[in-house]
Structure 1
Amino acid sequence: MAALPGSDPRPLAARMRPQTLDAYVGQNHLLGKGGPLRAMVQAGHLHSMILWGPPGSGKTTLAQLLAHAAGQHFQILSAVNSGVREIRAAVTSAEAAQSLGRGTVLFIDEIHRFNKSQQDALLPHVEEGVVTLIGATTENPSFALVNALLSRARVYVLKALTGEALGTVLDHALADSVLGLGNLVIEMSPEVRKGLLTAADGDARRLLNLLDLAVQLASVQAGKTQITADIVAAASGQSWRRFDKGGEAFYDEISAFHKSLRGSDPDAALYWLARMLDGGADPLYLARRLVRMASEDIGLADPRAIEMALAAKDAYAFLGSPEGELALAQATVYLASCPKSNRIYDAWNAVRAAVKAGGSAEVPLHLRNAPTALLKTLDYGKEYQYDHDYPDAIAPEQHYLPPGLRQTHFYNPSDRGLEARIQERLRWINAHRQPVGEKKPHA
């Protein structure tokens, strides 16, 4: 259904943008009683800041409202299509406003897209107070912004809107006659309303865009517009979740997946696996992570874990999606249910550190190969004890590490799973081996 003649052509999200901080929905931890931004507005002093949060959490709107509350001129740049030239032009305009006694808020959307030189171009103007910078980003500022800029701005974290906050936004849209429908009544069942809020996935902009499209798709009967579940599904298109393959959400969910598996919670591990697959993660990347987890978090507590992870990788490569995803789920549950041990991981890190710190320690002579007469005259291989010549295939007086490391134990097995048996075996071996320095190896 087309918009009514003379109606506002802007997207619904733009038409719904609140005009005061009291009308702003969400982010109570920042704007509620005792919140830092509320206190800043009440104090009448606006400082430079970075607003970090997911799409549709209200970063741009909040920046505009803060500038308005402080009585400052508001300039907006997008880092997607702006550079140093646009920054200089904005600063020139801010200097002119400053000469007239008015401050300027320079809002930069997607500020993480500025490179280092572009971020550096902001520094002197922020430092001198020519502009009050408000940057908006969906990426972790610790990684996306230079330290010099971070030191001049406070970071405030915005959260995805809760279902209650989204419901408030939806009610305002339905009640404020901003949909361009005149006196038409919009109806939807509680189930359809819930489906619409779920499809928005914490994003107010997406919610309003979905509502706008749903209204256009719905038919009008007897002065009413009925929005059904089928209409919401058609407006939503393919299901999606917040998941940036190279961004913060990606690493957060990978972290949650790994830690759920390490924590032996198969339900949580399956959930995060499904979330990432639903969001578009590469299944073979997830398979590689499973192989890594099998070594890092399970190791010899259950050597079958790495076999299961590799088999799942091969099964997915053979079957593809969606059939192969079941193999990833199977491996996920198995690994989450296994006894856990990070002793191989710890041993490997410890031995790498020892190698790095110890330099090129000489191989003990009795361990060296002696394929030539010359090497034999140099005592290569002399006094080597062939382990199979001894009971239990253990030469009790022989040692294999360089002299300075012979009392070091890099691998200390846990008492879980197969490693409990390995631990018992190694203790027996060490009990039967001569302590370092008691006797020299004999021929």
Structure 2
Amino acid sequence: MDLFEHSANREHEPLAHRMRPRSLDTFTGQTHLVGPGKPLRRMADSGSVRSMILWGPPGTGKTTLAELLATASGARLERLSAVMAGVKEIRAAVERARSATPEQRATVLFLDEIHRLNKSQQDALLPHVESGLLTLIGATTENPSFEVNSALLSRARVYVLKNLGEAELIGVLRQALTDTRHGLGERGIDAPDDVLTAIARAAGGDARRALGLLETAADFTIDTDGGETLTKASLDDVLGHQASRFDKQGDAYYDLLSAIHKSIRSSRPDAALLYIARFIDGGGDPLDVVRRLAAIASEDVGNTDPRALPLVMAAWDAYRRLGDYEGQRAIAHAAIHLAVAPKSNAIDRAWKAAQRFVRQQPDFDVPLYLRNAPTRLMDELGYGKGYRYAHDEPYGYPAGRAHDCWPEGLEPQHFFEPTEHGQEKRFAELQAWRRGLDDHADGGG
């Protein structure tokens, strides 16, 4: 029986299910894994499948690949979903695998959404993967290095699947329109290129979504002399607003924030706007972008442009006061400013250096002259004695190493080293000038 022929009345099954590939030769996408000489192709050709985790977005072929590989190896296929299966279900699958051993049939366990397995479930699975009783094929949309324990991860190779490209999705759609056995071929639907392109773009790299949209759109065709035609006008009613949403706890959420940050750090305002728009359009909270911009203002711009941080805080306030629609422009305003501004990580480096130094010298005392003396006893003990009020000093600077504000017994450090970029160049000049005053006050000039 055909691996995918699960029902005698297949016309009632979703189009995406009916159109699933029956072999790697008809599989679309993932050529880096299933192309000639590539790892999954070699496994299928040799009939020897090893434990793996397939990591990629929805609709990229994870389940189909697992079933094709199991078929190619001649193994039994057990299917479990981590959402529904507990330790009891895993143990039952193990017992069925043991029962199949006398028949010399290996067992492939396909575990969907493996990132949802808790520790006890993973522990129940591990020894049987180690012994070879089960060949594990896990599927996940989340980064397995965060969700799968290291022992299980070390026994399974991770293969990364990618979103299908627009041309690949259009190919999938054309195949569905012409396939008379499993697809819509018997209806003879005419779908112009611009219609298929619109569906492919709305699907966002997800073949299952693309076929679902096509199936829905096929209910809105218009009759023509030659049969049925799917028009752009009818498609627009089906698609509506196709926001490409994502899980706020998933990789896409953090990947987009990372792309925003790194685009701004790289002084690419257009790329920053692209990723901010994608983040917000996908359902991300605009205030999460503002929080990241506030971090960037100090971490990557710093004192090269002292206006950067106040501008971000003003954008934050403007968003709250103006509301979402107009407030998004304030966020774009701040992002462009940060991207165009000169860059420096001198503040970040200085702060980290100070933290390292303090961890190595945790018990130093504050010099007496820097302490307040609110009581008579403290005054008698010398608190505040010798402190020089900067505003009474020439140039507003108490020159000389004797007043360097550094703890006694510790070698003074220079944590903050300004760059030659933007306003920090002026900071560097001021620091050099004040060191000259120190040298003069100490008799060096």
Q: Report the TM-score range of the alignment, normalised by the length of the smaller protein.
A: over 0.9
Give the gaps of 5 or more residues in structure 2. Answer: 1-7
Partner residue in 1 for 2:215: 212
1:231, distance to aligned residue in structure 2 (A): 2.5
2:404 aligned partner, one-letter code: H
Asked whether the 8 Å contact 2:245–2:283 carries over to 1, the reply is no
Q: Tell me how far apart the structure 2 counterparts of residues 6 and 127 of structure 1 sit (CA, whole Å).
A: 41
Question: Quick check: 1:154 aligned with 2:157?
Answer: yes
Partner residue in 2 for 1:373: 376
1:109, distance to aligned residue in structure 2 (A): 0.5
Asked whether the 8 Å contact 1:242–1:249 carries over to 2, the reply is no
TM-score (norm 2): 0.93
Partner residue in 2 for 1:231: 234
- Residues 278-293 of structure 1: pairs in structure 2 closer than 5 A: 278-293=281-296
Alpha carbons of structure 1 residues 30 and 189: separation in structure 2 relative to 1, 3 Å: same
Q: 1:298-347: CA deviations, max 9, x gaps?
A: 11111111111111111111222222111111111111111111111111
Asked whether the 8 Å contact 2:269–2:335 carries over to 1, the reply is yes
Of 336, 342, 358, the match for 2:361: 358
Partner residue in 2 for 1:419: 424
Question: Quick check: 1:122 aligned with 2:125?
Answer: yes
Question: Quick check: 1:65 aligned with 2:68?
Answer: yes
Q: 1:62-111: CA deviations, max 9, x gaps?
A: 00000000001111111111111111111111111112110111001111
Q: 1:347-366: CA deviations, max 9, x gaps?
A: 11111222222113101122
Asked whether the 8 Å contact 1:76–1:108 carries over to 2, the reply is yes
Partner residue in 2 for 1:400: 405
Alpha carbons of structure 1 residues 130 and 37: separation in structure 2 relative to 1, 3 Å: same
- Residues 129-168 of structure 1: pairs in structure 2 closer than 5 A: 129-168=132-171
Residue 325 of structure 2 aligns to a residue whose secondary structure is coil
TM-score (norm 1): 0.94
Alpha carbons of structure 1 residues 7 and 21: separation in structure 2 relative to 1, 3 Å: closer
Alpha carbons of structure 1 residues 87 and 6: separation in structure 2 relative to 1, 3 Å: closer
- Residues 163-178 of structure 1: pairs in structure 2 closer than 5 A: 163-178=166-181
1:432, distance to aligned residue in structure 2 (A): 1.1
- Residues 317-328 of structure 1: pairs in structure 2 closer than 5 A: 317-328=320-331
Partner residue in 1 for 2:437: 432
Residue 133 of structure 1 aligns to a residue whose secondary structure is strand
Q: 1:10-52: CA deviations, max 9, x gaps?
A: 1001100111121111111011122111122233321110000
Residue 385 of structure 2 aligns to a residue whose secondary structure is coil
1:222, distance to aligned residue in structure 2 (A): 3.7
Partner residue in 2 for 1:332: 335
1:411, distance to aligned residue in structure 2 (A): 0.8
Residue 403 of structure 1 aligns to a residue whose secondary structure is coil
Question: Quick check: 1:104 aligned with 2:102?
Answer: no
Aligned-pair identity in percent equals 51
Range with greater deviation from structure 2 (290-299 or 6-15): 6-15
Of 346, 349, 365, the match for 1:346: 349
Partner residue in 2 for 1:303: 306
1:412, distance to aligned residue in structure 2 (A): 1.0
Alpha carbon RMSD of aligned pairs, Å?
1.9
1:409 aligned partner, one-letter code: H
2:436 aligned partner, one-letter code: A
Q: 1:233-286: CA deviations, max 9, x gaps?
A: 232232222532111111111111100001111100000000001100001111
Q: Tell me how far apart the structure 2 counterparts of residues 7 and 146 of structure 1 sit (CA, whole Å).
A: 39
Asked whether the 8 Å contact 2:302–2:346 carries over to 1, the reply is yes
Of 251, 262, 277, the match for 2:265: 262
Q: Tell me how far apart the structure 2 counterparts of residues 180 and 205 of structure 1 sit (CA, whole Å).
A: 13
Give the gaps of 5 or more residues in structure 1. Answer: none
Residue 11 of structure 2 aligns to a residue whose secondary structure is coil
Q: Tell me how far apart the structure 2 counterparts of residues 93 and 56 of structure 1 sit (CA, whole Å).
A: 29
Range with greater deviation from structure 2 (352-361 or 156-165): 352-361
Asked whether the 8 Å contact 1:210–1:232 carries over to 2, the reply is no
Alpha carbons of structure 1 residues 282 and 404: separation in structure 2 relative to 1, 3 Å: farther
1:422, distance to aligned residue in structure 2 (A): 1.1
